[in-house]
Structure 1
Amino acid sequence: MPIQNTSKPLVLILEDEALIALNLQDELQDAGYKVAGPFTTCATALEWLQTTTPDTAILDAALKDGPCREIALELSRREVPFLIYSGHHEDRQFLADFDHVTWIEKPVPPSVLVQACRQLLVGCD
Structure 2
Amino acid sequence: MAKVLICEDEAVVALDLQIFLEDAGFEVIGSFPTRSGALSAIGSMNPDLAVLDVRLADGEVFPVAERLKDMGVGLVFHSGHLKRHDVSGEYPDAEFCMKPVAPDTLIAALNRLDARTAAAPGALG
One fold, TM greater than 0.5?
yes
Distance 1:91 1:117 in 2: 16
Q: 1:3: which partner in 2?
A: none
Aligned residue number for residue 82 of structure 1: 75
Alignment correspondent of 2:98: 105
Task: Work out the CA distance in 2 between the residues paired with 1:122 and 1:100.
Answer: 12
User: Which residue in the other structure is 1:43 paired with?
Assistant: 36
- Give unpaired runs (5+ residues) of structure 1: 1-7
Partners of 2:28 and 2:103 in 1: CA distance: 14
How many residue pairs get aligned? The number is: 118
Contact in 2 for aligned 1:15/1:39 (Cα 8 Å): yes
- The amino acid of 1:60's aligned partner reads D
Q: Name which of structure 1's ranges 108-117 and 61-70 shifts more when overlaid on structure 2.
A: 108-117
Q: How does 1:52-67 map to 2 (within 5 A)?
A: 52-67=45-60
Taking only aligned residues, the RMSD between alpha carbons, in angstroms, comes to 2.1
Q: Secondary structure of 1:124's partner?
A: helix
Counterpart of 1:10 (choices 3, 25, 30) is: 3
Q: Deviation digits for residues 99-119 of structure 1, max 9, x if unmatched?
A: 542221111122221221111
Deviations 1:44-78 (A, max 9, x none): 11111131210101000120000111111111111
Distance 1:95 1:108 in 2: 19
SS of residue paired to 2:28 = strand
Amino acid at match of 1:107: P
State the partner residue of 2:111: 118
The normalised TM-score by structure 2 is 0.83
Question: Residues 82 and 54 (structure 1 numbering): CA distance in 2 closer, same or farther, change over 3 Å?
Answer: same
Unaligned runs of 5+ in 2: 119-125
Q: What does the per-residue CA deviation read over 1:20-63, in whole Å, with 9 as the maximum and x for residues that have no partner?
A: 11111000111111102221001111111131210101000120
Query: Matches of 2:112 and 2:82 in 1, distance apart?
Result: 23
